[in-house]
Chains A and B, each alone.
Chain A
């Protein structure tokens, strides 16, 4: 137990370029990577988060250099050698890891500070981890806490109100290109959640006619229905490009799905009407060279960040407040974590027992008026004897080596049974 550490390793948009991130992103979902992660020695609990801006592993593990190294190797796989990834990777322990997780959950570490998508992504990632039984008492508590920290930040600061999601940034850009979005046609390639969100923003800003292209037509139909739009097959994309003005691409495809050579001849048929591509997929869907074409504007997820930087100042003020909340909560969690070892738990239990006996004595003794001081002492001794005898077996159990692989689980249950948390 004393060797137990919370470790958080990852890469994010701040120091890792998109080219590297797209190699690491888990395009196949969480199931497979979680299983692979479980094979690493020394992990007690583990959790994995992959979004377009970050890939992070959070574990509770036996202390040791080897765990850290194994996790880094797991994260980068064959994509990069240790020399290469050294400059991208960050690794936090204990308090720092807790703090970082809270920062991420509260959207203070996001590319767009204050955006709300990250919390959903966090919950989704946690759902996978807990369903696959990868998390235990520490991570459960830690992640639940991170959700409530995020909520607290959201309700106590205005960081979310001026917050802008990726789609907001995209709309800002679209306005600079098209003036107004009125009557603009939108093509969604891929029908994921991000695409849905972007489409929602575009439509509420005046865009009409949403066309959805997706590999599975059923999902495309669903989404199209929401916006009174149409669904088309993947093969019709080129044809649709002649008509639309804004393209939002967010497929999970491993490579480029639309090349410059395909779009170039289209521009003549479009009579050079501007075409705005938004590539929110990681790895990228659209050929970066598209941006070289006249009247074609291509923005990937990193580029969108720059737009957001423009109105950053105001949010920074709120971010200071939010950071204070995170600091506070991280400290509280640290205390909880510290209490999760055996010795303080026993102390807390004894303290509670003594407190109860003291309280009862104070209530009872005044009512027994004719007691001598000796008799009174006897009653006091009896009360404390009952408490000690009652607590004897639980304490023995707590000190015992049973359920050795999950000691913190035992302590956690123990603390819940005896309601020791309330004191904190």
Chain B
């Protein structure tokens, strides 16, 4: 029964997100304010469905569903969705939703294409620390993903402004200042969460394996990611790094996030690898 609901839920998550993505894209082309409201409602619905799906997996597995490749990516998509939905009340960044909804949908496609099986959790990982550590890390990724979307938009808009050839994007993208503020906001939030993720992970490692730091590939790459973002934030607040340079740094940082998430598991292995 539960697994059927679970199956149905995932398909509806896919469907609703696809819808949200389509409506956002139509809005992007047509620029009708009404469409934007509809798209946002659909995305909100998708967010709720994602939460329900994660909850259903939790009930089936009996632990926080963040241990398989599929689960991590769904969690990632969920955190991007809610980071965006929580974020958008504060700043109105024109057409941000389009970019974010496309990213969310891409993540869900990845989630759909890997095995959705449940794997038993090794005893070492059965702890309250799992949701805390993984939750912080994935929420951090959510905000860093928003920073990435904003950075892509920044580069597109900046290119139009510099080249003075006003094409498709010029009227559809927000001001550079809004995108730069978005970058600051997402970066500081994402970075704080990332730091907490690494600290909680290290505390948990001490409890589970006896040492704070193992130089496991995932840990190393998380640290590299952390340094990339730390450097950027430092430069921003001391030297006033902003604009194009900050946008490029956000994209580089996000690539490092993606590599930490997948590349490490596939290429380098280590104790963080998900059950395959």
Contact = CB atoms under 8 A, between A and B. Distances in A.
Interface of A: 173, 175-179, 268, 270-274, 291, 294-295, 297, 299, 303, 306-307, 309-310
A297 B162 contact: yes
B164 A177 contact: no
Contacts of B240: 268, 270-273
Nearest to A270: B240
Contacts of B165: 306
A177 B157 CA distance: 9
Contact of B176 (A177, A268, A271, A291): A177
6 contacts: A177-B175, A271-B240, A272-B241, A294-B243, A294-B244, A295-B242
B192 interface: no
Contacts of A303: 164
Nearest to B165: A306
Given A306-B164, A306-B166, A176 B175 contact: yes
A270 B240 CA distance: 8
B166 A179 contact: no
A179 B178 contact: yes
A176 B164 CA distance: 12
Given A307-B166, A310-B170, A179 B175 contact: yes
B234 interface: no
B161 interface: yes
A294 to B, nearest CB: 6
A271 B180 CA distance: 14
B271 interface: no
Nearest to B175: A179
Nearest to B179: A179
B177 interface: yes
B244 A309 contact: no
A295 B244 contact: yes
B189 to A, nearest CB: 20
Interface string B215-258: 00000000000000000000000011111110000000000000
B244 A178 contact: no
Contacts of A291: 162
User: Considering the complex of A and B, which 10 residue pairs feature the smallest CB-CB distances, nearest first?
Assistant: A271-B240, A179-B177, A179-B175, A272-B240, A295-B243, A303-B164, A179-B178, A178-B177, A272-B242, A176-B175
Contacts of B170: 176, 310
Contacts of B242: 271-273, 295
B239 A271 contact: yes
Given A177-B161, A179-B177, A274 B243 contact: yes
B177 to A, nearest CB: 4
B11 interface: no
A176 B244 contact: no
A297 B161 contact: yes
A145 B216 CA distance: 85
Contacts of B166: 306-307, 309-310
A306 to B, nearest CB: 6
Nearest to A267: B240
Contacts of A306: 164-166
Nearest to A302: B164
Contacts of B178: 179
Contacts of A299: 164
Taking each of B161, B164, B165, B245, which has the highest tally of chain A beta carbons within 10 Å of its own beta carbon? B164
A331 to B, nearest CB: 38
Nearest to B173: A176
Contacts of A176: 157, 161, 170, 175-176
B239 A268 contact: yes
B31 interface: no
B127 interface: no
Contacts of A268: 239-240
A310 B67 CA distance: 51
A182 to B, nearest CB: 11
A294 B245 CA distance: 8
Given A177-B176, A306-B164, 9 more contacts: A176-B161, A178-B177, A179-B174, A272-B240, A272-B242, A291-B162, A294-B243, A306-B166, A309-B166
Nearest to B91: A179
B171 interface: yes
A272 B242 CA distance: 7
A297 B240 CA distance: 18
B176 A274 contact: yes
A297 B176 CA distance: 11
A281 B157 CA distance: 26
Contacts of B245: 294
A175 B240 CA distance: 21
B173 to A, nearest CB: 8
A178 B165 CA distance: 19
Nearest to A271: B240
A295 B246 CA distance: 11
A271 B161 CA distance: 20
Nearest to B160: A176
Contacts of B239: 268, 271-272
A315 B165 CA distance: 21
B90 to A, nearest CB: 14
A275 to B, nearest CB: 11
A324 to B, nearest CB: 30
Given A173-B161, A297-B161, A297-B162, A310 B177 contact: no
A303 B157 CA distance: 16
A7 B244 CA distance: 52
Contact of A272 (B171, B181, B243): B243
A293 to B, nearest CB: 10
Contacts of A178: 175-177
